Amino acid sequence: MGDLRAGIIPVTPFQQNCTVLFDQDTKSGVVIDPGGDVDVILQTIAENDLTIEAIWLTHGHIDHAGGADELREKLKIPIIGPHEADLPLLSGLEDQARMFGLDMDVRNVVPDQWLKDGDRVSFGAYEFEVFHTPGHAPGHVIFYNRAEGFAHLGDVLFAGSIGRTDLPGGDHQTLLNSIRDKVFPLGDETGFICGHGPGGKIGDERRTNPFLKGL
CATH number of the domain enclosing 46 = 3.60.15.10
Beta-strand pair 120-123/28-32: unpaired
Beta-strand pair 141-145/126-132: antiparallel
Q: Cα(90)–Cα(52) distance, rounded to whole angstroms?
A: 22
Tell which residue, 29, 21, 19, 115, has the closest CA to residue 63. 19
Contact between 177 and 156 (Cβ < 8 Å): no
**Alpha carbon separation from 51 to 43, 153, 167, 168, 200 (Å, rounded):** 12, 23, 35, 35, 27
What does pTM read for this prediction? Answer: 0.97
Q: Cα(157)–Cα(205) distance, rounded to whole angstroms?
A: 8
Q: 31-76, pLDDT tens digit by residue?
A: 999 999 999 999 999 999 999 999 999 999 999 999 999 999 999 9
Average pLDDT over residues 11-33: 96
> How many domains, in total, are found in the chain?
1
Residue 90 has pLDDT above 80, yes or no: yes
Q: What is the pLDDT of residue 100?
A: 87
Contact between 81 and 68 (Cβ < 8 Å): no
- Tell me the average pLDDT of the chain: 96
Average pLDDT over residues 204-208: 97
Q: 103-141, pLDDT tens digit by residue?
A: 888 999 999 999 999 999 999 999 999 999 999 999 999
- Find the domain containing 52 and state its range: 4-212
Burial of residue 186 (CB within 10 Å: 0-12, 13-18, 19+) is buried
Q: Cα(136)–Cα(169) distance, rounded to whole angstroms?
A: 7
Residue 195, beta-bridge partner list: none
